[in-house]
Amino acid sequence: MDIMGKKVVHKHLGEGIISDYKVKNGVSYIVVDFSEDNHKEFLFPDIFKDFVKAKDEDFEEYAKELLEQKQKRDKEKEDAIKLQRKKEQKNLIRDEIIANKGRTPKRKNKINSTKKTSN
């Protein structure tokens, strides 16, 4: 969907028009013109979660769908990271057990030598 020129309403800034769409380092942004000298850049589609509503119903639905898809991807990434950390933690514990296998624990009390020293 072409989002350029779409009207939006921001909770605090009021009504504006999307004037630009860009991607920086894999992150999507929109630029909204609220007045001739008031341009703001927002994460897209994240801004539609709480702060911005589209005046056009079709565009609002489109933005919400994109937001849901992004949230699903973010959740999947987060779950994958948690699973990876869990695996790494198990591997560290396993490696520690293997490294310590066969070693006798250090004694707490020092054993005196049986050798006699000559004076």
Please report whether residue 36 resides in a domain: yes
Residue 15 Cα distances to 33, 34, 53, 86, angstroms: 9, 6, 9, 47
Q: Quickly state the pLDDT bin for 95 (edges 50, 70, 90).
A: confident
Task: Answer yes or no: are the C-beta atoms of 54 and 73 closer than 8 Å.
Answer: no
Residue 73 is part of which domain span? Answer: 7-99
Please report whether residue 53 resides in a domain: yes
How far is residue 50's CA from residue 31's CA, in Å, rounded to a whole number?
A: 17
Task: Answer yes or no: are the C-beta atoms of 6 and 54 closer than 8 Å.
Answer: yes
Does this model's pTM top 0.85? My answer is: no
Please report whether residue 1 resides in a domain: no
Backbone angles phi, psi at 107, to 5 degrees: -80, 145
Please report whether residue 107 resides in a domain: no
Task: Answer yes or no: are the C-beta atoms of 17 and 31 closer than 8 Å.
Answer: no
Could you read off the pLDDT of 35-94 as tens digits, one per residue? 888 999 999 999 999 899 999 999 999 999 999 999 999 999 999 999 999 999 888 888
Please report whether residue 106 resides in a domain: no
Count of domains forming the chain: 1
Residue 91 Cα distances to 80, 95, 102, 112, angstroms: 16, 6, 19, 40
Please report whether residue 119 resides in a domain: no
Please report whether residue 47 resides in a domain: yes
